């Protein structure tokens, strides 16, 4: 990863739980373990893809990183500074640096505002420029995202889904942020429009030196845009790897199953390849399974998987995975990894 | 000599338009195809291409007073368009069943799952309530719901998205329909659940001997399961042929564009994705001639008149609407799919 700069975002043992309250006094009876101890960092100029099934906590993770949510514990550092528990006022100057693009281009634009005012609003809030300068910048932004400056006075309903998503991107770029968290930015779009959008996001990254956290469930899309990919399952980071490596050599059986489930637009390849059809659904994040959270659906599971949570270990080359039965790892690497991260502590706690 | 039996379903020059304040929207504009016994037909297209309106018209599910229908929908040789409503009700759900994209909104939230399936059975069969319930539980088992006796009395909100889609499929299969129309059945689901549902549809097709029409925007979904595929654009079929024809010898530049737009896991990562320039046209005032012309990188003079859907450069049963001669198609096709020949 030498091509990228300093770490821009560092996430350390991040936990975001949503309390479930009951009764008159609102006593907390349980919690949704949306994000449950996730650690990684993103370097400047890099694109980190976050993938996982719906309900795995990838959106909550993204929202916690930009502090739309406050973490339950753990830390988020932005340019080295901890922002996990900053107050709203202290956060405000940082908001310029990190922006978000949302999934639903219909719900994320105020239908009663004109496009110009939607894109200008971040600048207005932050007092970034006077009215004339704002107008000029908005017109520049419209041009940058492939819309016409004449669209300035139009309303959102006059635009198609793809165009609306471009407006959302223009708004996110208005303050020249360093980090953009894009939460499923193309999943609501048709394939031909989706590819236009992905190309645009790539161009913008280069032009504005952006760092992306790209949340998506489509593994094809994620491979296309990401430098590294983090696979999330039930609030846990289960695999983190350079993008190409993840697809060639998944270590975690969950990743293997996810990849094999992606339909391939080629009838012969589609017939030939082995598809691993996972049984059942993702378990509830209120009461996640003990040990490895994936074990009830895993075809390689053994007793240890239900008893001991596997640590996230480095298999070399920046490829990390949390699994007791890593795939495609030779004995030598396995021995080295096991020495470096012995299970004894967790194992002794788990066995009676 | 007896004439050959008619196809199970034949749609002839179907046109559906909606009168709106802004003008007449020609949502479906002359669609024809046939469906044989036990066949899986994939209909691929983007939003607004008319694929759902076509299939909803087959079942006469559109009761918008501003809708105007033309053409014929022949089911076992009889025109569905002329059937009286009470006979139509027997066809709908009994002989042709449909499942929809969103399993959240297609089930009634205030009724138990088994009761909803039983209702579908009781509507079409003269059997007792107890027998209908037994069949409902049986169907839930067949579509892979574990502990169906217990889950039968759940309400839809107690089911996950994948389970709800299974329940919808169980309901659709309740009366052993001849045709199952599935409108984007996996679009709202995760890939792992999508794989389960597609497996289920493929298995049930054999067990129930139903023909299936699968509407999707995802070419990957039909690559596995379909026998023949139709590609729709702006209210028309632009290409129609066997699955292998479509994937290995695609004839229409729009099909190439679709194939090229997908970031594919089975190929090395591309630097740039091919994208089809522009947007689908307005259906109120579609471009004259070939409707794909304004977005087509290979358009030329002749495209100002519209080509008919017929056999051109492809195999014997491979139809398309493109004027390019087969030679020049072959020359530009792979480059277009790979994204090297970008539109202006």
B295-319: per-residue pLDDT in tens?
999 999 999 999 999 999 888 899 9
pLDDT at B339: 63
Span A193-211, mean pLDDT? 92
Beta bridge partners of B233: B236
Whether B343 shows a pLDDT value over 70: the answer reads no
Residue B273: domain span: 232-338
Digit-coded pLDDT (tens) for A14-54: 999 999 998 888 888 899 999 999 999 999 999 999 999 88
Quick check: A190 and B218 CB within 8 A?
Answer: no
Span A307-316, mean pLDDT? 93
Min CA distance, B128 vs chain A (Å)?
A: 33
Please report the domains of chain A, with CATH numbers, ordered by start residue.
Answer: 7-87+211-350 (3.40.50.300)
Which residues in chain A touch residue B196, judged by CB atoms under 8 angstroms apart?
277-278
Show the 3-state SS of B244-295.
HHHHHCCCCHHHHHHHHHCCCCCCCCCCCCCCCCCCCCCCCCCCCCCCCHHH
Burial class for B154, CB neighbours closer than 10 Å (0-12, 13-18, 19+): middle
Final residue of a structural domain among B208, B226, B244: B226
Question: Do B205 and B188 reside in the same domain of the chain?
Answer: yes
Question: Do B183 and B284 reside in the same domain of the chain?
Answer: no
Question: Do B81 and B95 reside in the same domain of the chain?
Answer: yes
Q: What percent of chain A has pLDDT over 90?
A: 70
Which residues in chain B touch residue A281, judged by CB atoms under 8 angstroms apart?
160, 162-163, 193
Which residues in chain A touch residue B163, judged by CB atoms under 8 angstroms apart?
281
Domain presence at residue B1: no
pLDDT at B342: 46
CA A49 to chain centre: 6
pLDDT at A152: 93
Domain presence at residue B71: yes
Longest dimension (CA), chain A: 71
Q: What is the CATH number of the domain that holds B25?
A: 3.40.50.300
pLDDT at B4: 67
Contacting B residues, span 244-303, partner chain A, CB-CB under 8 Å: 244, 247-248, 257-266, 269-270, 272-277, 279
Domain presence at residue B299: yes
pLDDT at A345: 47
Span B222-240, mean pLDDT? 95
DSSP state at residue B81:
G
- When pLDDT is cut at 50, 70 and 90, the band that residue B213 belongs to is very high
Digit-coded pLDDT (tens) for A51-79: 998 889 999 999 999 999 999 999 999 99
Question: Do B206 and B324 reside in the same domain of the chain?
Answer: no
pLDDT at A333: 86
Contact A286/B at CB under 8 A: no
- When pLDDT is cut at 50, 70 and 90, the band that residue B262 belongs to is confident
Question: Do B171 and B138 reside in the same domain of the chain?
Answer: yes
Question: Do B219 and B283 reside in the same domain of the chain?
Answer: no
ipTM value: 0.81
* Cα–Cα distance measured from residue B111 to residue B109, given in angstroms and rounded to the nearest whole number: 6
Final residue of a structural domain among B181, B206, B226: B226
Contact A325/B at CB under 8 A: no
Question: Do B175 and B300 reside in the same domain of the chain?
Answer: no
Quick check: B279 and A193 CB within 8 A?
Answer: yes
Digit-coded pLDDT (tens) for A120-160: 999 999 988 899 999 999 999 999 999 988 899 999 998 88
Question: Do B197 and B249 reside in the same domain of the chain?
Answer: no
Min mean pLDDT across A5-14, B2-11, B81-90, B300-309 is at B2-11
Question: Do B251 and B136 reside in the same domain of the chain?
Answer: no
Min mean pLDDT across A88-97, A151-160, B34-43, B202-211 is at B202-211
Domain presence at residue B343: no
Contact B22/A at CB under 8 A: no
Question: Do B188 and B315 reside in the same domain of the chain?
Answer: no
Quick check: A281 and B163 CB within 8 A?
Answer: yes
Number of domains comprising chain B: 2
Quick check: A192 and B162 CB within 8 A?
Answer: no
Domain presence at residue B344: no
Question: Do B310 and B243 reside in the same domain of the chain?
Answer: yes
- When pLDDT is cut at 50, 70 and 90, the band that residue B203 belongs to is confident
* Residue showing tokens 């640096």: A97
Whether B190 shows a pLDDT value over 60: the answer reads yes
* Cα–Cα distance measured from residue B38 to residue B43, given in angstroms and rounded to the nearest whole number: 16
């Amino acid at each position: 990863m030498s091509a990228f700069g300093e770490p821009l975002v560092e996430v350390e043992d991040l936990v975001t739980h949503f309390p479930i309250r009951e009764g008159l006094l609102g006593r907390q009876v349980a919690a949704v373990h949306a994000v449950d101890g996730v650690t990684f960092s993103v370097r400047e100029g890099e694109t980190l893809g976050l993938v996982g099934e719906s309900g795995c906590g990838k959106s909550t993770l993204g929202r916690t990183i930009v502090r739309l949510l406050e973490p339950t514990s753990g830390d988020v550092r932005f340019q080295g500074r901890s922002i996990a528990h900053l107050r709203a006022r202290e956060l405000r100057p940082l908001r310029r640096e990190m922006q978000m693009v949302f999934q639903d281009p219909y719900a994320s634009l105020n239908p009663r505002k004109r496009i110009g005012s939607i894109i200008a609003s971040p600048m207005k809030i932050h007092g970034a420029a006077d009215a004339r300068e704002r107008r000029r910048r908005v017109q520049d932004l419209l041009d940058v995202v492939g819309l016409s400056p004449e669209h300035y006075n139009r309303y959102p309903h006059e635009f198609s889904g793809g165009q609306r998503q471009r407006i959302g991107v223009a708004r996110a770029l208005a303050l020249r942020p360093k980090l953009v968290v894009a939460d499923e930015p193309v999943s609501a779009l048709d394939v031909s429009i989706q590819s236009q959008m992905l190309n645009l996001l790539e161009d913008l990254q280069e032009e504005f030196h952006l760092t992306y956290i790209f949340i998506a469930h489509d593994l094809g899309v994620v491979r296309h845009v990401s430098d590294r990919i983090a696979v999330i399952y039930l609030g846990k980071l289960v695999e983190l790897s350079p993008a190409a490596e993840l697809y060639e050599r998944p270590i975690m059986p969950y990743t293997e199953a996810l990849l094999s489930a992606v339909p391939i637009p080629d009838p012969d390849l589609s017939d030939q390849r082995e598809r691993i059809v996972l049984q059942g659904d993702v378990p509830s994040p209120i009461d996640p399974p003990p040990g490895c959270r994936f074990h009830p659906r895993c075809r390689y599971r053994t007793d240890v998987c239900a008893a001991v949570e596997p640590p996230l270990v480095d298999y070399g080359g920046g490829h990390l995975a949390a699994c007791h039965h890593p795939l495609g790892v030779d004995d030598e690497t396995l021995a080295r990894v096991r020495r470096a991260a012995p299970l004894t502590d967790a194992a002794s706690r788990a066995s009676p | 000599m007896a004439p050959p039996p008619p196809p199970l379903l034949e749609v002839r020059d179907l046109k559906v338009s909606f009168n709106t304040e802004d003008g007449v929207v020609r949502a479906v504009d002359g669609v024809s195809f046939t469906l044989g016994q036990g066949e899986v037909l994939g209909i691929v297209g983007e939003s607004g291409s008319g694929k759902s309106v076509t299939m909803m018209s087959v079942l006469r599910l559109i009761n918008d007073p501003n809708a105007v229908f033309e053409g014929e929908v022949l089911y076992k040789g009889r025109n569905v368009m002329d059937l009286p409503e009470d006979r139509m009700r027997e066809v709908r759900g009994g002989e042709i069943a449909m499942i929809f994209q969103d399993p959240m909104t297609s089930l009634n939230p205030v009724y138990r799952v088994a009761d909803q399936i039983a209702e579908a059975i009781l509507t079409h069969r003269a059997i007792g309530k107890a027998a209908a319930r037994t069949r409902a539980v049986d169907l839930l088992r067949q579509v892979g719901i574990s502990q169906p006796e217990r889950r039968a009395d759940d309400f839809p909100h107690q089911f996950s998205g994948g389970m709800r889609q299974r329940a919808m499929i169980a309901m659709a299969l309740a009366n052993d329909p001849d045709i199952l129309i599935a409108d984007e059945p996996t679009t709202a689901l995760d890939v792992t659940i999508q794989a389960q549902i597609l497996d289920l549809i493929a298995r049930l097709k054999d067990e129930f001997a139903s023909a299936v029409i699968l509407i999707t925007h995802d070419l990957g979904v039909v690559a596995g399961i379909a026998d023949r595929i139709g590609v729709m654009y702006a209210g028309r079929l632009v290409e129609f042929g066997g699955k292998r024809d479509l994937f290995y010898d695609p004839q229409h530049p729009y099909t190439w564009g679709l194939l090229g737009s997908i970031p594919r896991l089975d190929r090395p990562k591309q630097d740039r994705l091919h994208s089809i320039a522009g947007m689908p046209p307005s259906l109120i005032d579609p471009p004259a001639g070939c409707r794909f012309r304004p977005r087509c990188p290979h358009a030329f003079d002749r495209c100002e008149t519209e080509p008919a859907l017929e056999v051109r450069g492809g195999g014997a049963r491979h139809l398309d609407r493109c004027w390019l001669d087969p030679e020049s198609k072959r020359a530009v096709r792979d480059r277009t799919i790979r994204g090297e020949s970008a539109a202006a």
